[in-house]
Amino acid sequence: MTELWPIVVALCALAVVFVVGLPMIWRRQIEGETVEDWLAVRREEITDETLLSDAQLRVWDDKEADNKVDDAGPLVTRAVSRPGYQVALAGAIVLATLVLYDRLGAYEDVQITRAIASLSEATPNDVTALIERIEARSAARPTNLDYQSLLGEYYVATGNAAGALERFELILAEAPNAPDVLGRAAQAEFVAQGQVLTERARARAEQALAGNPRQKSALATLAMGSFGAEQYQEAIGYMRVLRDLEVPGSEGHQLMLNAIVEAQARLNEETPNQAPVSVTETPALTASVTLLVRLPEALEAAAVTGKTVFIIARPAGSTARMPTAVARVIAADWPLRATLTDENSMAGQKLSALALVDLEVQVSDNGQPGLDNARFTGELRGVSVRGKDISEIVLRANAQ
């Protein structure tokens, strides 16, 4: 914070120079009209000797008065120089500068941002000191949601789930429908309650998925909560979505595969007559939707080759945006062929539980789902889940 003080002092000194010093140096001497000039004008205007005599007497009186104040200096000069007023004005400017600096300068925010940007080079002691600064700044500015989010993430990473939940609660008070915050709050509450999925945590996680079906914190919370409640089929549904969000071969992807194997093994123990389902191979399911996605006639295939294509299935006629199943495909060839099965079901749902679905296709340039990220879209309504035919969708440019 001391780095800004030289700037503040320089501005205050400049204000003093302009308000006090400059008027004392730069004075305009105004000579004005003399009494002789006035008398000459009167002589031209009047001819009455009596009036001229009175004017002459007035000139003599004025000259006598001027002689008495000569030692005090010119009246005009004294009127220009008012040091008391100028000093008071300079003090007010300095005070206003300090108040604005304290209230609006936010220099501490700048310093914190710089420290966060250089965290890769920070030591553990530096991180601890930075968190203390953020906590102090957050207490001074509780409406700064960025600080609340940073503290919440830090508390989660350090195992302080209760502290993280408190921070996420403050954010939700300002942004009650933010999917990421809802998911993180649900996860923090789940951990703070000893791995028990409370009704509030479940409701928040489900609300997060309604806004963003791929919100990882919400999916993980519902997966672990369902597993702990021995609802293994539901847990497997969430785990499959989490698996598909991870890069194949990564640690997270392998972790989800192992979790699905464990959940499937426990499910098979409960239903011994049911044939076990492999997690590495897609089972032959009677419920499926096969789709052929075609490009507009004027569009060259090279323009969208390699782009990410999302194929989304929702209950037919539903106005909710929550998907039942989603497939993510990298477009290598056009027309693009893809099949949705229960393996693509989201959030514990099952495609096979529906008779008809509405399909939506999104072609994304940045690899993220959602109409805001889609360059091309296509729709098809009332498609049979158990039909043998291949449904076709022709893409169109997204108007949004």
Q: Which residues pair with 389 in a beta bridge?
A: none
Set out the domains of the chain in order of their start, with CATH numbers: 2-104 (no CATH), 140-270 (1.25.40.10), 289-397 (2.60.40)
Q: Which of 272, 242, 270, 269 is nearest to 257 (CA)?
A: 242
Q: Residue 277's pLDDT is what?
A: 47
pTM (two decimals): 0.47
pLDDT score recorded for residue 259: 86
Entry field: residues in the chain: 400
**Hey, what amino acid is at 64?**
E
- Rounded average pLDDT per 10-residue block, the chain, 400 residues: 57 64 54 61 69 67 59 46 61 67 59 69 76 78 77 80 88 88 92 88 90 89 89 88 86 84 82 50 61 89 88 82 81 89 72 87 84 88 86 86
- Give the model's pLDDT for residue 371: 81
Count the neighbouring beta carbons within 10 Å of the beta carbon of residue 179.
20
Tokens of 70: 């000569």
Model pLDDT, residue 152: 81
* Two structure tokens written together for 388: 């043998």
Estimate to the nearest angstrom the gap between the alpha carbon of 135 and the chain centroid: 19
Tokens of 122: 């920070």
Amino acid 293: pLDDT: 92
